[in-house]
Amino acid sequence: MNDRRSRRDALAPVGFLLLVLIPLILMPLAAVFVFAFRGGAAEFFEALKAREALFAMRFSLLIAFATAAVNAVLGTYAAYVLSKYRFTGERALGIVVNLPVAIPTVVVGTSLLLLWGPIGLLGKALEPLGFRPMFTPLGVLLAHLFVTFPYMLGAVKPVLDELETTYEEAAYTIGASRLQTFRHVLLPALKGGIFSGALLTFAHSLGEFGATVMVSGNLRLRTQTAPLYIFAQFEAGNIAQANAVAAVLAALSFGIFFVLLRYSGRREGER
Amino acid sequence: MSIVLTDLTKLFHGTRVVDRVSLEVANGELFVLLGASGSGKSTILRLIAGLARAEAGTIRLHDRDVTREPPQTRGVGLVFQNYSIFRHMSVAENVEFGLRIRGTPIPERARRREELLDLIGLGGLGNRYADQLSGGQQQRVALARALAYEPSILLLDEPFGALDVKIRGQLRQSLKEVQQKLGVTTILVTHDQDEAFELGNRIGVIERGRLLEVGKPEELYFRPRSSAVATFLGSGTLLVGRCKAGEAHFGPLVLPIPTDVPHEDGARVRVLFRPEHVELLEEEPPGKLVLGRGEIVQGTFAGPLRRIRVRLAPLAATRQIAPAPPYGETGLLVEAAVPSENERIAGRPWVAIREWHILRRPAPRILVGESATAASEALTMGRILERALDGALTVLGVATEREKEEALRATLGQRMKDGGFPNASVRVRHGDRADAILQEQEENVYDFVVLGSEESHGDRLDPVIETILDRIVTPLLFVKREAARPERILVCTAVGEPGKADIRVGGWIARQLGARVTLLHVAHSGGEPPRWVRSHLERGVATLGSLDVESEFRIRTASTPLQGIREEETATSPGLIVIGGHGPQVRSRVAIDDVTRQVLRFANSPVLVVPENA
């Protein structure tokens, strides 16, 4: 550990840092809750009980669960393939699967529309068959899967890369098939990575806005997620409604964040 | 036999990390593969376990060919250096894993697990997890896990490498006991020779993917066959001298050569003294084998023994291989180990030896320059030599350009396989044929180079042969047409000063082939030849006689040496003509057309050119 400066020396730099952070981060964090309860608890719960608000929150949670579940499987599989097999184009594929974090989410939404939409490349062909994913919950799920895909990979692949191959090899010689080895040897070792990856995916899905607003059509009681609801209510001037849902969303995110923090802290301690 | 490996070969980026390894391990044997890191020993283990695929060769476990089988069905237990205990499973679960996979009923599993934990000395620790165990304990668990499902073969890859010395000793003992108790055939891989000596029923020494020697620990230590094994195992002094009349000469030291390691007169002989067989004495001892008097240059206390290095005056016509002489060292260095309580040794002791070991002659290496298009007459001859000399055959193909190397390698590999040359190494180079052959010879040092002619050049000498002849220092065998195993060998001492190398090399080949030798001298004019010619020929016959080679000499009269040799060839049709050569020389602008070249051009029999210094 570096030699820490004494507490007195720290006074000025810490004070300055706080001075910057208070308006930048701490006050906005607080503002959500302050404004949500400005009209009292009764008004807060009233705002939450609105049919559209309840739907938006439930829909958001559902989509977040589904996204986390699908990507937990898909991302783990992708991490396994990328970590265990050597093939041509391996590097290229590694870059492509991580690309979604780098693309603006609105652009993602647009390209999904251009692909699956009624006049899109695939959409045009599928439309007559009655498959119209855009402006439906499925469209929202597709967008969220795309946007959050790298989080799972990023949480699982490093664990897999670091795990010595001798564990698997030991299992193979003992007689375990590839599947049994994955189930009994790799999966338990990956549990932590998968858990934090899934939580991260869940959190990002919960707050996703850019891509969602494009592909959902922002249809009330059909495809409107909580962030879209907040934005819509704000635009309509219903500040109280918007604030109530925003506070719930913020509380949820804090919750997930603290779980992740504690969890990763514990895993650090284990080593 | 539990384990039979045949010509096992593994390539990694074109290099043979495992090079034609053949090995048999008996039931219940504990076999140790010993080698430096990167020697390919672990790869052999992985091939046996099925974790890597062999490019060539077969693996048979208990008379079942498993070469193409996955690791799951081979029935081997494998223990790694890093233990690889499953961290989320308890010790008990780890040990039971193999049984669980096999669907063994729970009570049976528990019984077996308890049995094994007791056997390895971890009874009562079944509920612990890996992070609650020491390294030694983890390795014991790994051993139990690998034995739980009763594999027919146990493989251990540097199992004690990560442990400290004391724990290592305890674990070795446990392993030996467990292995003997269960009688499971075991291969252990290590770089630690103490471990190899302590554990191995037999040891195999691996270097650069090749299994150099296999034998009991004592055998390999006291009677190694090659200098590589002699210097890899233990320390000691390894010297090269010359053979004279059945005895090995190292300066003043003359040692008898045992009959089972035949050496010809003039051949190099290597002798090994282990440090404990070297005596350091204050006064010149009578009746002992004395190397001379030297000075102590280094003394190290090593517990029961004191290791001492003594420098002596160099021995005449003797070269030192081990201990490797430091740069600038001109003296002879001898390693000795004396009981450490003996503190009187100081100053200038006399060095005597109690025991010594004469190494086997290394197998001669034969290089065949092979034609790209079809099996050549050179290859047939190369094979005859390989058989007769018990040598190692390497076949070199030369491609016109780099891109064609791989195709040529495949063609030659197939040709060797089809032609029944499974042991031949195939090498491929590209570019000019003569340059490629010379380069290969320079880099890998062969004892014989066998060449045919790519195409007919009429009465002219193949320019490739011409170039090589100018620059080569080893005997070159030129084969024009398909030839059989030579029964008569014609040694031409016709030219220049009476050569000795040609008689020596020709005689040695004749002995190995069981062929008769005719020594030929061509005289310019009739009448009695000069006395020195007759005496030279008589001495030649005597030399050959001492090699147990039947020989006679003949003096022909002819206008030119070539004519005499041609006449003799027509009359007796020898299977091989041996003639001296000049060795490397500066190439003059006008090609020198000496007798050697004339014979190469006109003789129909295979011609062996022996450079004077070969």
pLDDT in tens, B294-344: 999 988 888 888 899 999 998 888 888 888 888 878 889 999 998 888 776
Q: Residue B589: pLDDT above 50?
A: no
- The verdict on residue B108 lying in a domain is yes
Collect all residues of chain A within an 8 Å Cβ-Cβ radius of residue B90: none
CB contact under 8 A, B51 and A169: yes
- Same domain for B217 and B201: yes
**Which amino acid appears at position B114 of this protein?**
E
**How many Cβ atoms from other residues are within 10 Å of residue B277's Cβ?**
18
**Last residue of some domain: B330, B358, B386?**
B358
CA nearest to B49 within chain A: A173
Q: What is the ipTM of this complex?
A: 0.79
Last residue of a domain, one of B358, B390, B422: B358
Q: Is the domain of B275 the same as that of B350?
A: yes
Residue numbers in chain A where pLDDT is lower than 70: 1-6, 265-271
Q: Domain ranges for chain A, please list them.
A: 56-105+137-270
Query: Residue B201 burial by CB count (10 A; 0-12/13-18/19+): exposed, middle or buried?
Result: middle
Pick the residue from chain A with its C-alpha nearest to B51: A169
Q: Do residue B443 and residue B500 come from a single domain?
A: no
CB contact under 8 A, A166 and B80: yes
The DSSP-derived string for B336-386 is: EEEETT-----SS-EEEES--EEPPPPPPEEEEEE-SSS--HHHHHHHHHH
Looking up residue B380, the CATH number of its domain turns out to be 3.40.50.620
Could you tell me the sign of the dihedral formed by the alpha carbons of A131, A137, A138, A143, in that order?
A: positive
In terms of Cβ atoms closer than 10 Å to its own Cβ (0-12, 13-18, 19+), residue A137 is middle
Considering only the beta carbons, identify the residue of A164, A176, A184 that sits closest to B82: A164
Q: For residue B483, is it within any domain?
A: no
For B73, which residue in chain A has the nearest alpha carbon?
Answer: A175
Between A177 and B371, whose confidence is greater?
Answer: A177
- Residue finishing a domain among B190, B222, B254: B222
**Subunit contact B84:A166, Cβ cutoff 8 A:** yes
pLDDT digits (tens, 9 = 90+) for B232-288: 998 999 998 888 888 899 888 899 998 878 777 767 789 999 999 999 988 888 888
B496 shares its domain with B570:
yes
- pLDDT tens per residue, range B541-588: 887 887 778 888 888 888 888 888 889 999 988 999 998 876 555 544
Bridge partners, B517 (sequence order): B489, B551
- Please provide the size of chain B in residues: 614
From A178's Cα to the closest Cα of chain B, the distance in A is 10
Among residues of chain B, what percentage have pLDDT more than 70? 94
CB spacing of A173 vs B78 below 8 angstroms? yes
Query: Do B122 and B175 have their domain in common?
Result: yes
Of chain B, the percentage scoring pLDDT greater than 90 comes to 42
Give the mean model confidence (pLDDT) for residues B182-203: 95
**Coil, strand or helix: which one is B396?**
strand
The answer on B317 and B212 residing in a single domain is no
pLDDT at A3: 56
User: What is the extent of the structural domain holding B195?
Assistant: 3-222
Please indicate, yes or no, whether residues B327 and B393 belong to a single structural domain of this protein: no
Residue with tokens 């380069």: B439
Q: Is B295 helix (H, G, I), strand (E, B) or coil?
A: strand
- Judge: A174–B74 Cβ closer than 8 Å, yes or no: no
How many domains are there within chain B? 4
Q: What is residue A232's three-state secondary structure?
A: helix
Q: What is the pLDDT of residues B470-498, one digit of tens each?
A: 888 788 999 988 888 899 999 987 544 44
Burial class of residue B110 (count of CB atoms within 10 Å of its CB; 0-12, 13-18, 19+): middle
Residues B385 and B334 in one domain: no
| Residues A181 and A171 sit within 8 Å (Cβ to Cβ) | yes
**Which residues is B353 bridged to in the sheet?**
B278, B289
Chain B residue numbers with beta carbons less than 8 Å from the beta carbon of A164 are 82, 84
- The answer as to whether B229 is a domain residue is no
Interface residues of chain A, partner chain B, Cβ below 8 Å:
164, 166-167, 169-177, 180, 184-185, 188-189, 191
Q: Which residue of A has its CA nearest to B96?
A: A174
Helix, strand, coil % over all residues of chain B, rounded to 5: 30, 30, 40
Indicate if B175 and B137 belong to the same structural domain: yes
Kindly report the CATH class assigned to A56-105+137-270: mainly alpha
Would you say the C-alpha torsion A79, A81, A87, A88 has a positive or negative sign?
A: negative
Query: Which residues of chain A are within 8 Å of residue B51 when distances are taken between CB atoms?
Result: 169, 172-173
Q: Which residue has the higher pLDDT, B100 or B546?
A: B100
The 10s digit of each residue's pLDDT in B56-67 is 999 999 999 999
Contacts of A232 (CB under 8 A, 6+ apart): A218, A220, A224
Pair B577, B429 in one domain: no
What is the token pair recorded at A108? 């993602």
Answer yes or no: is B230 within a domain. no
Residue B17, in any domain of the structure: yes
8 Å CB contact of A174 and B149: yes
